[in-house]
């Protein structure tokens, strides 16, 4: 079994993919738009024909799928987060700052007992993120 994250955006999936590529090094693998659907399978009413029907991208070593979701039904993430684990305080601070711009901060970037740097936020596209530069933790026996 394999679990893959699938993100729905409210019509701005392409902008989110471009943003994540520019600032997080995401690599877009596949993009299909609604206007590429066969004629007999038109998108439901209200969908932008140029919108993203399906996309696959990698972020680090993780595959993520995405699309522009049903108009009026896509809401920001509530209780799930994508957690970005990085190798330095500087990278944690940089990523946190760029994702927080235009978004909503839930927990400012700070040192915690379990992390050199940790913060939580929702970006301007409605995706919740945790950014962490972990401290070594003792193994559980």
Query: What domains appear along the chain, each with residue ranges and CATH number?
Result: 5-68 (3.30.720.100), 82-134 (3.30.720.110)
| pLDDT value of residue 106 | 98
| pLDDT value of residue 40 | 63
pTM score: 0.90
Give the model confidence (pLDDT) of 8-46 as tens digits.
999 999 999 999 999 999 999 999 999 888 766 777 778
Percent of the residues in the chain that have a pLDDT greater than 70, as a whole number: 99
Q: Which long-range contacts (CB under 8 A, 24 or more apart) does 75-82 make?
A: 75/126, 76/122, 76/126, 76/127, 76/128, 77/122, 77/126, 77/127, 77/128, 78/128, 80/128, 81/120, 81/128, 81/129, 81/130, 82/5, 82/127, 82/128, 82/129, 82/130
């Amino acid at each position: 079994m394999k679990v893959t994250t699938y993100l729905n955006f409210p019509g701005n999936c392409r902008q989110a993919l471009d943003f994540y590529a520019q600032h997080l090094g995401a690599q877009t693998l596949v993009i299909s738009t609604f206007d590429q659907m066969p004629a007999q399978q038109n998108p439901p009413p209200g969908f932008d024909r140029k919108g993203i029907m399906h996309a696959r991208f990698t972020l680090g070593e993780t595959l993520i799928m995405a699309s522009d979701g049903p108009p009026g039904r896509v809401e920001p993430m509530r209780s799930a987060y994508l957690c970005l684990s990085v190798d330095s305080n500087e990278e944690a601070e940089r990523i946190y700052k760029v994702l927080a711009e235009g978004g909503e901060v839930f927990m400012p970037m700070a040192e915690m007992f379990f992390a050199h740097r940790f913060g939580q936020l929702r970006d301007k596209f409605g995706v919740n993120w945790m950014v962490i530069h972990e401290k070594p933790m003792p193994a559980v026996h």
